[in-house]
Amino acid sequence: MMCGFKEDLEDMKDMLESMAAVLKDAERRSVTEESVLLWLKRLKNAAYDISDMLNGFQDKSKSATLLALVVSTYKGTYTS
C-alpha cells in the first residue's frame, strides 16, 4: 500500500515538472489570448498547490523519520 503512495508522489512530481515546462514555454511566447492567460493562471495556481502539498508531506515525513530515529535511539534509556 505504501509503495502505491510513493508512486503517486512520484507521478505528482512528474506532473509538476510538466506543468512548469508548459508555463515556461507560455511565458517565453508572450501569450496574449484571454482564455489562454486564464488557463495558464489556473495552471500556475495548481502547480503552486501541488508543490506546497509535496513540500508539506516531505517536511512531515522528515519530522516523522527524525522522531522515529530519536525514539529508537533512546528507547529503553528512560523508565516510567
What whole-number distance in Å separates Cα of residue 39 and Cα of residue 61? Answer: 33
Give tens-digit pLDDT for 2-46.
567 778 878 888 888 888 888 888 878 877 888 888 888 888 888
Q: Domain ranges for the chain, please list them.
A: 2-76
Distances 14 to 8, 29, 31, 54, 74 between C-alpha atoms, Å: 10, 23, 24, 12, 38
Taking the model in full, what pTM does it have? 0.58
